[in-house]
């Protein structure tokens, strides 16, 4: 599936579902990062994990829009904007 197809499918979702999808994507990114940035250190939430969750909550409360999320994803993946 190409990135444009993926973005079309994501854009067709409601904002509530897009928000949940963003949370899941960020979870996966954290899960597969190296051990140094692990969310859970020895069975407890690490400082990195706490900061990440605090920022995510703040973004959600500020109404982080799909456009902002899409721009961050494009930058992160070095994708060409459509």
Count CA atoms closer than 13 A to 32's CA, side-chain side: 5
In tens, the pLDDT along 25-75 reads: 888 777 767 555 555 555 677 778 788 888 887 877 777 677 777 888 888
CB count within 10 Å of CB 22 equals: 21
Angle made by CA atoms 68, 46, 63, in degrees to the nearest 5: 20
The band of 82, judged by pLDDT with boundaries at 50, 70 and 90, is: low
What predicted TM-score, i.e. pTM, was given to this entire model? 0.40
């Amino acid at each position: 599936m190409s990135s444009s197809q993926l973005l079309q499918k994501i854009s067709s979702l409601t904002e509530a579902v897009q928000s949940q999808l963003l949370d899941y994507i960020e979870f996966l990114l954290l899960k597969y990062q190296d051990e140094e940035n692990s969310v859970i250190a020895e069975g407890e939430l690490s400082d990195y994990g706490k900061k990440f969750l605090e920022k995510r909550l703040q973004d959600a409360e500020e109404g982080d829009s799909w456009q902002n999320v899409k721009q961050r994803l494009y930058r992160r993946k070095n994708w060409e904007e459509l």
